[in-house]
């Protein structure tokens, strides 16, 4: 029982340490609009690092974004990994109001939620991730920051049960 109490306290302390609030970016420029940025063709270069910072995988992703007749942003992401693996994810994203988005994809559990202010977007979702013949449900906490000249930087923390598994870092550029 004592071990459980200690573990619960540690999890609460670790999860309560983040002080990032999306509203803090309201005055940052250039202003990021998810629909405008990802409409058309975009390319991203990314890496996955484990929780110790070791580089585990690299990838390139080509994204084609279109607006459907019902107003959704449909983003088709084609990944090519450095080990030759290819994968695809198709997002269907809706704008809820001036700052909020929701999204779905086949491997996303439930609905992704996003909030944007200024040059930043925070995107949170759970993903069914194949790992060594098994499927893990992991949580993603993505932070995207639009930079001058159309560069979009993305840093995503991947966790399970509140413990960080690793990070994904991506730099996007419009084609």
Name the band, by pLDDT with cuts 50, 70 and 90, for residue 8. Answer: very low
Q: May I ask the CATH architecture of the domain 2-174? A: Beta Barrel (2.40)
d(CA 11, CA 9): 6
User: What does pTM read for this prediction?
Assistant: 0.86
- Both tokens of 25, joined, read 């970016």
The residue extents of the domains of the chain are 2-174
Q: Residue 91 and residue 77: Cα distance in Å, rounded?
A: 8
Angle 121-64-88 from CA coordinates, rounded to 5°: 90
What percent of the chain has pLDDT above 70? 89
Over 80: is that where the pLDDT of 141 sits? yes
Q: In 68-150, at which residue ranges do the beta strands (DSSP E only) sit?
A: 73-81, 86-95, 100-104, 108-117, 120-131, 134-146
Distance CA 124, CA 159 (A): 11
- Asked whether residue 50 carries a pLDDT value surpassing 70, the answer given is yes
């Amino acid at each position: 029982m004592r071990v459980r109490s200690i573990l619960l306290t540690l999890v609460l302390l670790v999860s309560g340490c983040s002080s990032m609030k999306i509203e803090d970016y309201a005055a940052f420029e250039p202003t990021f609009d998810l629909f405008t940025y990802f409409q058309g063709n975009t390319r991203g270069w990314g890496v996955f690092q484990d929780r110790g910072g070791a580089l585990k995988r690299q990838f390139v992703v080509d994204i084609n974004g279109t607006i459907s007749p019902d107003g959704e942003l449909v983003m088709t992401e084609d990944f090519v990994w450095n080990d030759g693996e290819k994968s695809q994810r198709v997002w269907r994203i809706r704008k809820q109001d001036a700052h909020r988005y929701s999204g779905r994809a086949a491997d996303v559990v439930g609905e992704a939620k996003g909030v944007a202010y200024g040059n930043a977007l925070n995107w949170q979702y759970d993903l069914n991730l194949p790992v060594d013949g098994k499927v893990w449900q992991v949580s993603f906490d993505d932070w995207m920051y639009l930079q001058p000249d159309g560069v979009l930087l993305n840093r995503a923390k991947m966790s399970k049960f509140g413990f960080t598994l690793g990070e994904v870092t991506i730099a996007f550029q419009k084609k």
